[in-house]
Chains A and B, each alone.
Chain A
């Protein structure tokens, strides 16, 4: 195989792909600053960096979506130009997008066949495509049923369809853009096995991520980007999590679980037997029972779309329950409106921060008072008190270290981390008794995440009851006192932190109640 220069998919191998001195400018931003990067056949190469570090820009250049302002791309030592995704595909570069590019009401085979020349044009040749898919799935251990409707597959399987698509189109070099973001730990392990298999077969792989332990787990080499420039290129074996984090963030970072005093607060929130349905009649919550004590962080783990959002919204008063009750401090609030609940001391950091958390076109200052309109320092006799509002906004912005050009800047112009800080500032300034924080650090860089976690710990110490919903198991393990795992609208189990392991949580997230032998059977 190595001699023929061919991959099992029949495609010519890419021995090496290198970019040299790539520069890409956008108005006001230097997205890529003389970037050098290369990847070889048989290698899994990590491209590590925070949001906005320039990883995506570099990959879009390789994919032909952007043209670099300077620099060159060398394929097997020869300079090439990639002017479009079509060019990129012809050179053997395949992309596994973070957001799957799949048509969910078509079958696996139809998704693969889409855009390809049929051998029986203008008729489809789905049997031919299907036969080739079967060959590929066997060779690369990518079990998936070619006849299945893609929308009905689990997320991990959908990702395999993306990989099959790339291989089918002759992908010799595959770029995987944050591929683990939506997977359970078990699915991640399976993906890594597939990646290693592809590398053994002679493919070159680029693994884009900001998750350090995954980078350490699966890659051979790591290139670290910060502010558009390469700040490190190391062999994975020769580095540590601490070193990579420091390269990525530019200063030392601690991942330790914060020290915490034991607080035996009374029950603040009690959700009992909660069930909810959407307007299509699909079940969102299935008999959910959960307690959160004052001074406690209860983490809610689960793969996206398993009822976490409905749970958060039910507590915030945005999702009506069909049955069950919600009690806050001995007071039943099941029927209370969202604004009443704000008054009772429920703070809510919603999952879709741009959509539900802020009004995009409003200024930073207006967004800061959204939840607080009835209070005396915001308005009197129906008129806004601009001076008082501005004063308070200025204080909150400095307290919460929000980086914004001015109070009047539309909030949509801020970075994700700063928008999240504005939301935190707004919710925490109301001194909540209960805080529901849904995905508070998703898409937020390591520095801002650290800050948000610190504020959550502060709230915990002040006796706030906190429900922390997150798909990031590291975050859950780091922050939570107890961990509830949701699957298909149910709470599978609630595990004290001391008894929680990634394997156990992973199985629960997949809907499996683990017994001792199961846990041991799963490789770490």
Chain B
């Protein structure tokens, strides 16, 4: 009996951390998905996340208001996105290379700012888990305060997260709707697939790409902030630790659809959570191997060739209006 309870607790724990850990991936990957749907491959997500993580942390640290922190993170990411857009859309630079440049830029600048403006690792009182509580509902025969997270099993998995976690998952249907049901979304899809066709119908190809790369930057910034002011509550140099690159992979994994990206983020973070629990529980597996597991899974998933079919045809190709 006790053993069964423990197993259940572990499963709940893995599911809870899986959802929680999916958050930064989800923001970053959904943002990158938008950039790629418009035809821009931005490998600089990691750098944009770091800038967002720092900006979010610093503003929250100074003002005590995590919402201002999120705003600052979004603005920092947006500006990083603007740099990427100028280089890759207007100046038509090789996107893989400029993205790596953006990553190194973000890594360097966030470290520099951290050293000069903070100096030491500080904690911050950022977002807390939301409390879905109701007091005295006579109809349901509840007389004391009732919180949703007290619901067995489902409660601790779904109702014990910060607002940024819910925000990330809310983006999935929102972006689906925007892409499929709005004129702007139609423009995005067309520009990523056949920019010449969109251009011939006076859709501003470069404008759409700027918008999406900057939107992707803002979301990557929020992804960074979700780490520094919600999940961990600290800022450290290079704290994103490769998450931005995984986010790029998740876009491919998810076949460029919001739901697919969410599935990928959840799968990845669940395996990550599992791996953490395996270590905590002291299973006799080399910890390095366990840490490797999610990345291995990503590589295997990416090697499945049929996903390529959904790739935006103009991905990573700068648009030049043909004169011939």
> Which residues of A are in contact with B by a Cβ distance under 8 Å?
65, 85-86, 89, 95, 97, 100-106, 110-111, 113-118, 121-124, 165, 280
Contacts and interface: CB of A to CB of B under 8 A. Distances in A.
Q: Is the interface of B mostly helix, strand, loop or mixed?
A: helix
16 contacts: A65-B323, A85-B200, A89-B202, A102-B197, A105-B189, A110-B189, A110-B190, A113-B186, A115-B201, A115-B203, A122-B183, A122-B184, A123-B181, A123-B182, A124-B181, A124-B185
Contacts of A115: 187, 198, 201-203
Interface in B290-305: 305
Contacts of A106: 186, 189-190, 193
Given A102-B194, A103-B193, A106-B190, A97 B200 contact: yes
Given A101-B201, A280-B305, A114 B186 contact: yes
Contact of A123 (B183, B189, B197): B183
B121 to A, nearest CB: 44
Given A85-B200, A85-B202, A103-B198, A118 B183 contact: yes
A118 B182 CA distance: 9
Contacts of A86: 202
Contacts of A117: 183
B305 A101 contact: no
B182 A114 contact: no
Interface in B103-136: none
Interface residues of B, number: 21
Contacts of B186: 106, 110, 113-114, 124
Tell me which of A104, A124, A280 has the highest count of chain B C-beta atoms within 10 A of its own C-beta: A124
A123 B179 CA distance: 10
Interface in B266-324: 305, 313, 323
Contacts of B189: 103, 105-106, 110
A121 B194 contact: no
A266 B245 CA distance: 62
Nearest to A121: B183
A104 B198 CA distance: 12
B71 to A, nearest CB: 24
B10 interface: no
Contacts, number: 66
Contacts of B200: 85, 95, 97, 101
Contacts of B305: 280
A113 B189 CA distance: 13
Contact of A104 (B183, B184, B194): B194
A110 to B, nearest CB: 6
Interface string B186-225: 1101100110111011110000000000000000000000
A464 to B, nearest CB: 35
A114 B181 contact: no
Contacts of B194: 101-104
Nearest to B306: A280
A180 B68 CA distance: 60
* Residue of A111, A113, A115 with most chain B CB atoms under a 10 A cut-off: A115
Contacts of B196: 101
A160 to B, nearest CB: 16
A111 B187 CA distance: 10
B201 A124 contact: no
Rank and list the top 10 A-B pairs by shortest CB-CB distance, nearest first.
Answer: A115-B201, A101-B197, A101-B200, A103-B194, A103-B190, A115-B203, A103-B193, A118-B183, A122-B182, A86-B202
Contacts of B201: 101, 114-116, 165
A106 B202 CA distance: 17
Interface string B7-18: 000000000000
B182 A124 contact: yes
Nearest to A97: B200
Contacts of B184: 122
B202 A105 contact: no
Nearest to B183: A118
A65 B185 CA distance: 27
Nearest to A95: B200
Given A122-B182, A280-B305, 19 more contacts: A101-B194, A101-B196, A101-B200, A103-B190, A103-B193, A104-B194, A105-B193, A106-B189, A110-B186, A114-B190, A114-B197, A114-B198, A115-B202, A118-B183, A122-B184, A123-B182, A124-B181, A124-B186, A165-B201
A115 B186 CA distance: 9
A105 B39 CA distance: 14
A95 B196 CA distance: 14
B195 to A, nearest CB: 9
A171 to B, nearest CB: 13
A392 B290 CA distance: 66
A256 to B, nearest CB: 34
Nearest to A279: B305
Contacts of A65: 323
A121 B184 CA distance: 9
Interface in B136-186: 181-186
Contacts of A97: 200
A105 B313 CA distance: 10
Nearest to B184: A122
Contacts of A114: 186-187, 190, 197-198, 201, 203
B22 to A, nearest CB: 28
A121 B190 CA distance: 17
B285 to A, nearest CB: 37
Identify the interface centre among B190, B193, B201: most chain A CB within 10 Å of its CB. Answer: B201
Contacts of B198: 103, 114-115
B199 to A, nearest CB: 8
A115 B184 CA distance: 9
Nearest to B185: A124
Choose among A86, A97, A103, A116 the residue with the greatest number of B CB atoms under 10 Å from its CB: A103
